[in-house]
Amino acid sequence: MKNTKKLIAFVSVLAIAATVIGCAAAKSAPNTSTTGSEVTKVTVAHTQTYAPYDFVNAKGESDGFEVQVLKAVDELLPQYEFEFVPTSDDDLLIGIDSGKYNVGVKGAWFTEERAKKYIFPKNYIGASVIGLTFRTENADQIKDMDSFAKFSGKLVPIAPQNAQWAIVEKYNADHPDNTINLVASDAFTISDAYTWVLEGRYDAYFDIKPSFEKSVKADDGAYHALADKLSYVPYEAIPTYPLFGKNDQALADAYDGAIVQLRESGKLKELSQEYFGEDIFQYIQK
C-alpha cells in the first residue's frame, strides 16, 4: 500500500511539472494566430463640411478626397486600424495637440507655426488649387498670372502670414519685369473681395478654386448671383498635408510609405478625378 501511494504521489508530481512546463512554453511561444501582431487603433479626425476634401455625406459617412486617401492608406497598413471622426476645425487642431486624435485632415497647408505643434509627413496628401477670380468682362485680357500682371496687377490685398502671400511674392521675384501689386491686408470677408473686384477697386482676387466653385458656381452657393459676372483661372496648387500628433512619428512614417505606393499606382489621380473632376496635382509647382 505504501509503495502504491508513493507511486501515485510520484505520478502527480510529474503531471504538475508537465503542466507548469507546458504553460511556460506557451507563454514563450510566438503568436501564431491569423491576426499576427497586435493591431493599433488610430483615431483620424476630419472636418465635416469642407467638400470635396473632407465632409460627411448624405448617408452620414466620413467622405471626401483626403478621407478616401487615408482609407486607402489604412488598407495598406495591416498593423493599424483607422477610425474616422467628423469634428470641427478647432476641435481637430486641439485634439491632435492634446493626443485625443492621432491624425487629422482639413485641407491643411504647411506653415512654420503648425510645424511647431504637429508632425508634417514628408509626402503631401492632396493639393489646394489657387488662382484668380476676376470680372468676366475681362476674360479676353486675363487668362493667367502673366496676362493679369500685364493687364493691371491690381490684386485684392493678402495677409502676409497667409501662404497665398508667399506664392505671389515668389511670382514677383521670378518675374521682376511683370509684377503683381502685392499689398498687405486687414481682415475682410470673401463678400468684400468679390464686391471690390466687381466695383473695379481691384481687378482680381487670389481665390481657392473649391471655394469659388462652392460659393459662386454652385446653384446653392452664397454668391451664385454673381456667377455670370465673375470668372476664374487656376494658377498653382498648394500641397495639403495630414497633421500628426507629436507622439505619432511611427504612424507618419508608415503613412509616407503607403502614400508613395498610392501615388505610383495611380490611385491618387483616380480619386482626384472622382472628387475634383481633374488631376489637381498637375498644378503643383515642381
CATH of the domain at 230: 3.40.190.10
In a domain, 143, yes or no: yes
Is 7 inside a domain boundary?
A: no
Q: Is the pLDDT of residue 10 over 60?
A: no
Do 158 and 88 share a structural domain? no
The answer to whether residue 285 sits within a structural domain is no
94 within domain boundaries:
yes
* Rounded Cα distance, 219 and 198, in Å: 20
Query: What pLDDT does residue 161 have?
Result: 82
Residue range of the domain that includes 216: 128-238
pLDDT confidence tier of residue 189, bands split at 50, 70 and 90: confident
pLDDT at 40: 97
Q: Quick one: 256 and 223 in the same domain?
A: no
Amino acid in the structure at residue 127: A
pLDDT for 89: 96
Is residue 233 included in any domain, yes or no? yes
Please list the residues that pair with 45 across neighbouring strands: 85, 104
Over residues 86-99, mean pLDDT: 97
Say whether both 150 and 229 belong to one domain: yes
The number of distinct structural domains making up the chain is: 2
Q: What is the mean pLDDT of the chain?
A: 88
Any idea which residue has 495611380 for its cell?
A: 266
- Structural domain contains residue 140: yes
Using the Cα atoms of residue 194, residue 199, residue 205 and residue 209 in order, give the sign of their dihedral: positive
The verdict on 104 and 141 lying in the same domain is no
Pair (115, 250) in one structural domain: yes
Tabulate helix, strand, coil % of the chain (nearest 5).
45, 25, 35
For residue 178, pLDDT over 50 is answered with yes
Question: Same domain, yes or no, for 162 and 225?
Answer: yes
By three-state DSSP, how is residue 122 classified?
Answer: coil
**Cis? peptide before 234, omega within 30° of 0:** no
How far apart are alpha carbons 125 and 96 in whole angstroms? 18
The answer to whether residue 283 scores a pLDDT higher than 50 is yes
User: Are residue 234 and residue 264 in the same domain, yes or no?
Assistant: no
Same domain? 216 vs 149: yes
Place of cell 488662382: 131
Question: Is the pLDDT at 5 greater than 90, yes or no?
Answer: no
Q: What local confidence, expressed as pLDDT, does residue 36 receive?
A: 53
